[in-house]
Structure 1
C-alpha cells in the first residue's frame, strides 16, 4: 500500500469536485467528488455501467467535463489537454497495452527515457551510439519489472502479462508524479496478476496511484482508499473494510445481502 502517513493534515494531489459528463441528455457521471491523497493507492470500483471509464477519461482529460473542476497539485487542469497534464507529471496507462509492437522491450523503454531526458526530441534520426547512454537505465528498469531476459524481444512477441509489465516500465520511465492505471489486471491469468500486483505495489513507493480495477481481490490488497461508483454517482468511499460492508455497495454489486 501507499507509504504516506495518514494524518489529518495530509494533502491531496488530485481533487475532482462535482465532476459531471452528459452525452446528448444522458448523464454518465453526475457530480462526482474524488480526492486522492499524495503517496496513496486509490481505487475506483463499481459494477458494469457505473461510469468508471468515463470518470477515468475525465480525470485524464481524454474527455472534457460538462461540469465540475479538476485540480492536480493545486493547478486547475479542468480544461487542459492530456499532453499538458502529462508534462505536469500526471500520466496514465491504458486497458489495452500501449507499446510499440515492432520495437524490442529495451527500445520501448529507451523511447520513454528519451521523452523524459530530451523533452520533445526523440532523436529517431541519430546514430545508435548517440543513444547508448540511456541503455543502462533502460536495462535497470527492465530488470526491475522482470523483463531483462526479454530485452531484445519485440513487444509484439511478448506474452500478454509481460507486455503489460513492459507498458508499466515505459510509463515509469517518464518518472510520473502520479500514475493512473486503467484496469491493469484486465486479461491476465492468476500468475500474471500476482506479478503485476507486486509491480504496482513497488512503483507506488514514492508516488501516487489511481486505478480503475474490476479484480476486488487485488483492490483489497493494494488500495489505501476506494471510491465506489454506481449509476454515475459516488455510492461509498473509504478503505476496503468500510466499503465491502456497506449494504448499498453489496446491493449494487450482487443485489443481495452478501459481502463484496
Structure 2
C-alpha cells in the first residue's frame, strides 16, 4: 500500500478502497487505483464488471459508499463534478453531447469561452470578442480532423465525427486529466484510427484515463491497464502483462474470443 506522500508525489489520481453499493448489490468493491501523470491508463473488463460505475465515481457523478479519491494530492471524495472540472479533471460520456443546432466551430468556441472568461458563457458578448477565440477553436478542430467541417451543423455530422467534436470541446477546457468514457464506441475503422492518434497526441501533454472495449486500441495506446471483474480489480499492468494473466483470459479476453466465434 502506497503512502499518502507517495500518492501526492507520483500520481495525479488515486482511489483507495473505492466501493459503491446499490440496494445491497456491490457494484464496485474495494477498488484501489493509481494513475501516473502524462500516461494513458485504461480501465477494462467484461460486461457487468463495474467499469462505468467506477468511472462515474472517479469523475464524481456518483458518490462512493466507502473509500477515498484524491486528485493532484487533494481529497476530492466529497466534491462536485463542476468543482473538479475547474481543477482540471474533465470527462466525456458514452453518448455524444454536442449542441446540434450550433455549428462545429461554435461548439468549440463556446467551450473556449467557458474557460477563458472564468466560468461564464456570456452569450451577450460581442462578435469581435468571440472571434478572438476563433483561431484556437480552428486549431483544435484541425487536431481532431474537423477543420474543413467547422461551418457544418453539429447535428449533421456522422456519429464518429461527433465524438471527435466532443473531444475537441473537452480539450478546449484545457484539462490536466482527461477522462474518456468509451471514446471509440460506434466508430468506423477510419474514425477509430483518427481518434486513437488524437488520444496519443493528447497524452503527450496531459493524462488520459479511459474506459474502452476495443482491445487492439487499448494494447496500442495504454501505458497501464486495470482490469475489473465483478466490481473488483482483477489485474493491473501493461497489456503484455495482463493479457497473459490466466484470470484475465478467463474473465475478459476469453469472453471477447467467444464473441467472435
Shared fold, TM over 0.5 = yes
Cα deviation for residue 141 of structure 1 reads 1.1
Check whether the contact 2:243–2:253 (CA below 8 A) recurs between aligned residues. Answer: no
| d(CA) in 1 for partners of 2:66, 2:142 | 44
The correspondence of residues 1-260 of structure 1 with structure 2, limited to 5 A, is 11-253=10-252
When structure 1 is superposed on structure 2, of 160-169 and 42-51 the one drifting more is 160-169
Q: Does the residue aligned with 1:168 lie in a helix, a strand or coil? A: helix
Check whether the contact 1:70–1:77 (CA below 8 A) recurs between aligned residues. Answer: yes
1:6 aligned partner? none
Cα deviation for residue 139 of structure 1 reads 1.0
> CA 1:209/1:254 → structure 2, altered by over 3 Å: closer, same or farther?
closer
| d(CA) in 2 for partners of 1:231, 1:45 | 12
| d(CA) in 1 for partners of 2:217, 2:23 | 35
Could you give the per-residue CA deviations for residues 137-180 of structure 1, whole angstroms, max 9, x where no partner exists? Answer: 11111112111111100110011111111111110011000000
Check whether the contact 1:10–1:37 (CA below 8 A) recurs between aligned residues. Answer: no
Cα deviation for residue 25 of structure 1 reads 0.4
| d(CA) in 1 for partners of 2:9, 2:75 | 20
Q: Does the residue aligned with 1:136 lie in a helix, a strand or coil? A: helix
When structure 1 is superposed on structure 2, of 113-122 and 229-238 the one drifting more is 113-122
The normalised TM-score by structure 2 is 0.93
| d(CA) in 1 for partners of 2:216, 2:57 | 26
Give ranges in structure 1 of 5+ residues lacking alignment: 1-8
The normalised TM-score by structure 1 is 0.93
Cα deviation for residue 129 of structure 1 reads 2.3
| d(CA) in 2 for partners of 1:106, 1:32 | 40
When structure 1 is superposed on structure 2, of 125-134 and 59-68 the one drifting more is 125-134
Cα deviation for residue 189 of structure 1 reads 1.0
